[in-house]
Amino acid sequence: IIPEQGWQPLHLALWREDTPIAVAPLFLKGHSYGEFVFDQTFARLAADLGLRYYPKLLGMSPVSPVLGYRFHVRSGEDEDLLTRELLRAIDRFCEQNGILSCNFLYVDPQWRPLAEAAGCAAWLNQQSLWSRGDDQTFEDYLKGFNANQRRNIKRERKAVAKAGITVTPLSGDQLDLDLLQTMHRFYEQHCARWGPWGSKYLEEGFFEALARLHRDQLVLFSAHRGDPRDPVAMSMCVQDGRQLWGRYWGSHEEVDCLHFEVCYYAPIEWALTNGIECFDPGAGGSHKRRRGFVARPHASLHRWYQPQMDQLIRTWLPKVNGLMLEEIEAINAELPFKAEPPALAL
């Protein structure tokens, strides 16, 4: 995440004398890669209006489609007031420098009302989420599916076992530099399969830093034929004791259903065993719906600094957001398992 790759750090801070009291983590972007919110519609509209879409100002956790972005406000300060002050400063910066838009992606749902009240426009997209509910074991999880999909899941897991493969979770002190370097090789190989669309954003040094600094937050799922340190496939997830996030993965072999086992079933089983409440498996993939994941809305927030573009998009958003909620409702109506439907509201 460096300027040479189109991510120019441009963080904004408010100070009281020598003390920072609020910070907006921001990047100046010359492209839309690594965002997982696809804004080609906005870019085309800008082109139609004869406007320059890039550079744009962006707030998110880079290359991570994970909910949680918000401004950081010092404890004891007025978050509503400082959110408005930061947004006013962002507006001035963008207008003075000819920047067309400021965009906050995968925002913290609790912060969203503050930003909307200060003039941000919400655009809804969807994500997948597994929640444990009352399930305590993988058998409990299976019982929630209809008979046909329950058979399918059992068949998929048996296909992996029939290939002689076992999946072993590794975490904490079980992790070391060699395993994280192995995970990097799987990640690199998987990205290479997709050529220019492979979204290879992370270098080996990132994985090496994880081995040194964040082993307690990592879980690797090693698919192997006897030795977990000699895997044929591996996925990597992050956890905080309550939630699991996934995932990067890769495989040296084409094994039927191995992807489902390493990326979904084994992590869900680990989550159930370790008291995890929910699992976000990452962006995309309609196949997730048949494996226990519910479609849910998430919002990105936007500000535009050209009046015609601002008016056109704000007029369009209520309709497109309503259609997104209808799509989510339709998806969840067809799920092959029992699930509490998410709250759907604009």
pTM (two decimals): 0.92
Give residue 346's pLDDT.
54
Distance CA 61, CA 106 (A): 8
Tokens 């995890």 sit on residue? 276
Domains of the chain plus CATH, in order, are 3-126+296-333 (3.40.630.30), 134-276 (3.40.630.30)
pLDDT tier, 136 (very low <50, low <70, confident <90, very high otherwise): very high
For 24-73, how does the pLDDT look when each residue is reduced to its tens digit (9 = 90+)? 999 999 999 888 899 999 999 999 999 999 999 999 999 889 999 999 99
What are φ and ψ of residue 337, in 5° steps?
A: -150, 165
Give residue 200's pLDDT.
81
Q: What is the DSSP string of 215-226?
A: GGGEEEEEEESS
Kind and range of the H or E run holding 148: helix 147-162
Distance CA 69, CA 59 (A): 7
**Token pair in block for residue 73:** 């406000």
Backbone angle region of 342, left / alpha / beta, with phi > 0 → left and psi within -120 to 50 → alpha: beta
What are φ and ψ of residue 131, in 5° steps?
A: -125, 140
Q: Omega of the bond prior to 247 within 30 degrees of 0, cis? A: yes
For 229-262, how does the pLDDT look when each residue is reduced to its tens digit (9 = 90+)? 999 999 999 999 999 999 899 999 999 999 999 9
Number of Cβ within 10 Å of residue 5's Cβ equals 13
Mean pLDDT across 91-107:
97
